[in-house]
Amino acid sequence: MDALPALSFTPAVGDLPFTPKQRSLLSLAHELGRTKFAPRAAQWDESASFPFANYDDLREAGLLRLCVPESHGGLGADFATYMMVAAEIGRFCGATALTWNMHICSTMWTGVLADGIAMTDAQRAEHAKRRELHFARIVNDGAIYAQPFSEGSAAAAGRAPFGTTAKKVDGGWLINGRKIFASLSGAADYYGVLCTEDRGDEHPDARDTLYIAVPATSPGFAISGDWNPLGMRGTVSRNLAFKDVFVSDDEQLMPRGIYFRGAQTWPAMFFTLAPTYLGLANAAYDFTVQYLRGEVPGEPPVKRRQYPTKQIAVAQMRIQLEAMKSLFGRAIAEARPNPSKDEKLRLYAAHYSVMEGANDIARLAIRTCGGQSMMKHLPLERLYRDSRCGSLMLPWTAELILDRMGRETLYEAGERDA
Ligand SMILES: Cc1cc2nc3c(=O)[nH]c(=O)nc-3n(C[C@H](O)[C@H](O)[C@H](O)COP(=O)(O)OP(=O)(O)OC[C@H]3O[C@@H](n4cnc5c(N)ncnc54)[C@H](O)[C@@H]3O)c2cc1C
C-alpha cells in the first residue's frame, strides 16, 4: 500500500506511480517554478536574455546535478525522473526548461545513458576517468554545460557527418568549425560540441563523431550573431565559431566512436527535448481553465465558461493533453538501450504528439479564451510562440519523425526495394 502523502498538485506528466524520490523532486521543481520561474518568465522573453537568476536557483536547489550519479555527488536521477521534472519546469518557463535540458543531457548522456552503451574495458575505463572531471565541475563549481550540435546542414538531422572537426594533436584536439542555434551562448562555462574526427583524408564519417567539451574561455572560441526569434527567446541560441581551438584530451565527453553508437543504442536520448513542450501544453490548458472561470489573478472576474462552444474546446484540449501525457508516460517508462521496433515507433509517436500537440493546445487556448487573452501581460501569447518551436528541433523535427516512422514501419532494417 502507498503510505506516501499525495502531491498537492497534478504534475505536468499526469498522475503516475511516482517513487518517493520522484515525488520530492517534482515538488521541488513545482515550487521553484511557481514561485520563481513563472513570475520572471516574461522578462527573459521580452529582452531575449538568458534566465541567469533561474540558474542560480537551479544550482542552489541541486538541480544542475540532477543526473550526476550519487556516487559522484549528484542526485542520481534516471531518464524517466529527469523527463518528469523537466516537464514540471517547462510549465512555468519554457526557455529555462529547454536550456536546462541541454545542460542535463551533458550529464545524462555521459552518465546513465553511457552506462547502457557497449564499450570495451579500455573505453569504459577512459570514460569513467574523464566523466569524473565533468561531474566534479558541476557538483563542486556549479558549472553549466551547453550542447551545440546544429550547423545548418544535414548533420544535425543525422544524415551527414558534422562539418565541425577535431584533429588529434599532442595532448588533445584542435577544433575548427561553426555551430548555429547554440542555446546558453554566453551563459555556459563549457560547450559540449559534436564534431567529426579529422583523420586527414577526404572521407569524413559520421561514425567518427566526437563529443568534446570546449571551455568558454578557450582562445579561438567566439560567439556571434543576433538572437531575436519568435519564441524560446530566453534560450539565447547564437552562433559559435571555433578557430584552431585547442582542448586537452580530458575534455572528451565520450571515447572515440561512442557517441555514434550511443545515438543508435539509445534513441530516447533525443526525446529529452519533449518534456519542456509537455510542460507548455499543460500551462496553456491550465490558463484556459482559469481564464474561462474568471479566476486569473489581476484580471476582471468575467466568466466565459457558460458558452457550450468554449466547453467543447476545453474538452478537446483535455482529450489531446491526456493523449499526450499517456504516450509520454509510456515512452519514458519503456525507454532503454536497444528498444524493440514497437517501442521505437511509440517513442517517435510520443515525440511528435508532444511537439505538435503543444502548439495545437496553445492555438486552441487563444481561440477559445478570445482576444483579450493574447495581450502581452498574460502568458498565453508567449506559450503560443514558445510552443511553436518544438517541431523545429533537430534531429527529431516533426517532419523528420514522420519520415522515420513511415520508413521504419514499412521497411525492416537493411531491407531494400529491388
Ligand atoms: C529555441 C531553439 C533552441 C535550440 N537550441 C539548440 C541547441 O542548444 N543546440 C543545437 O545544436 N541546436 C539547437 N537548436 C537548433 C535546432 O535543433 C535545429 O538545428 C535548427 O532549428 C535547425 O535550423 P535549420 O533552419 O538549419 O533547419 P532545417 O533547414 O529544418 O534543417 C537543417 C537540415 O536538415 C536536413 N533536413 C531538415 N528537414 C529535413 C527533411 N524533412 N527531410 C530531409 N532532410 C531534412 C536538411 O539537410 C536541412 O538543410 C535550437 C532550436 C530552437 C528553435
14-57 residue pLDDT tens: 999 999 999 999 999 999 999 999 999 999 999 999 999 999 99
Tell which atom from ligand 1 comes closest to the C-alpha of 149: 11
Answer whether 103's CB lies under 8 Å from 223's CB. no
Answer whether 364's CB lies under 8 Å from 286's CB. no
Tell which atom from ligand 1 comes closest to the C-alpha of 152: 26
Whose alpha carbon is nearest atom 37 of ligand 1?
157
Predicted pLDDT of residue 203: 85
Altogether, the residues listed in the chain come to a count of: 418
pLDDT tens readout for residues 40-52: 999 999 999 999 9
pLDDT tens readout for residues 253-285: 999 999 999 999 999 999 999 999 999 999 999
Binding site membership of 407 for ligand 1 (Cβ less than 6 Å): no
User: What pTM did the predictor assign?
Assistant: 0.97
Binding site membership of 46 for ligand 1 (Cβ less than 6 Å): no
Binding site membership of 399 for ligand 1 (Cβ less than 6 Å): yes
Q: Which residues of 356-379 are buried (b: 16+ CB within 10 A; e: fewer)?
A: bbbbbbbebbbebbeeebeeeebb
Instruction: Give the torsion sign (CA, 188, 192, 38, 304).
Output: positive
Binding site membership of 154 for ligand 1 (Cβ less than 6 Å): yes
pLDDT tens readout for residues 181-236: 999 999 999 999 999 999 988 788 999 999 999 999 999 999 999 999 999 999 99
Mean pLDDT confidence for 292-299? 97
Residues 6+ apart with CB under 8 A from 90: 12, 97, 98, 275, 276, 277, 278, 279, 280, 282, 283
Answer whether 93's CB lies under 8 Å from 119's CB. no
Alpha-carbon distance of 358 to 392, in angstroms, equals 13
Binding site membership of 398 for ligand 1 (Cβ less than 6 Å): no
Alpha-carbon distance of 408 to 373, in angstroms, equals 42
Q: Is the pLDDT of residue 356 over 80?
A: yes
Binding site membership of 235 for ligand 1 (Cβ less than 6 Å): yes
Q: How confident is the model at residue 418 (pLDDT cuts 50, 70, 90)?
A: confident
pLDDT tens readout for residues 360-393: 999 999 999 999 999 999 999 999 999 999 999 9
Q: Is the pLDDT of residue 1 over 50?
A: no
The number of C-alpha atoms within 13 Å of 338 and in the hemisphere containing its C-beta is 5
